[in-house]
Amino acid sequence: MRPEPLGSTIRGILFDKDGTLVDFDRTWGPAAYSVMSDLSGGDRARLEALMRVSHYDEAGRRFAPTSPLIAGSSAGYGPIWAEVLDRPAGPALYAEMDALFRAAGLAALTQIGAPADLAARLVAGGYALGIATNDAEASARAQCEALGLTPHCAFVAGYDSGHGSKPEPGMVTAFADHLAVPAHRIAMVGDSPYDLVAARAAGAMAIAVLSGPLGAAARDEMAPLADHVLSSAADLPALLGL
């Protein structure tokens, strides 16, 4: 008996955003420098301290692979920034950070490939699409709108949407519930181990893409966690037989 084609087993495709649809370094490198500069208020020593705890290279305007900002949310690295800024850690500071990042991220937004065209092709092929990101939901929705993804996405979740953050499985489970399908009919596509661990924990298919900050060098870390490894999300239609 022949196995069921991959494309027919999947009903929904849940995308990570940064490193998968959005170029992480070109978008968040400049954006983070802008946000850190704003929060430092002209205090060079504070700016340098923020860059240091963020593992940020000022000359290259990019993060080191060890940076807590690459896959984390403002609630995750916010306490570290709060200590540097000598401000109370908590929702007020994180909301301010998220608002600054939302504006700066939109200003520097750089897409990977042609995400709107890819989304339109997948929807035409019968798949429901969603976004699951450790960015704030408002920022994710603003970027989806700017990228032309809003008409194609049935679901958008950020770290503050009430489903938890990746690598917890809540966003994946919530997307499956939204579509009223079992999680094994969902494919999670992302460039971080967080995405793949979240997928596996929910019982969904895990598809790794090598379009994140580490590029092809991420393969060795990602492959053991993934059902499939692709160079980029643009390879999805071929994988699904479209």
Tell whether the model's pLDDT for residue 2 goes beyond 50. no
What does DSSP say about strands 186-190 and 153-157: parallel, antiparallel, or unpaired? unpaired
CATH class of 6-23+111-240: alpha beta
CA-to-CA separations, 7 to 18, 27, 190, in angstroms, rounded = 24, 32, 18
Token representation of residue 200: 């596996």
d(CA 158, CA 105): 15
Which amino acid type is present at position 185?
A: R
Confidence (pTM): 0.90
pLDDT digits (tens, 9 = 90+) for 228-237: 999 999 999 9
CA-to-CA separations, 147 to 15, 21, 73, 88, 152, in angstroms, rounded = 14, 9, 21, 35, 11
pLDDT digits (tens, 9 = 90+) for 110-162: 999 999 999 999 999 999 999 999 999 999 999 999 999 999 998 999 999 99
Tell whether the model's pLDDT for residue 175 goes beyond 50. yes
Q: Report the percentage of the chain scoring pLDDT > 70.
A: 97
CA-to-CA separations, 206 to 16, 52, 112, 131, 222, in angstroms, rounded = 11, 33, 20, 14, 10
Q: According to the model, what pLDDT value does residue 24 have?
A: 93
Q: Please report, for the chain, the start and end positions of each structural domain, with discontinuous segments joined by +.
A: 6-23+111-240, 25-107
Q: According to the model, what pLDDT value does residue 71 have?
A: 77
* Residue 235 DSSP class: G
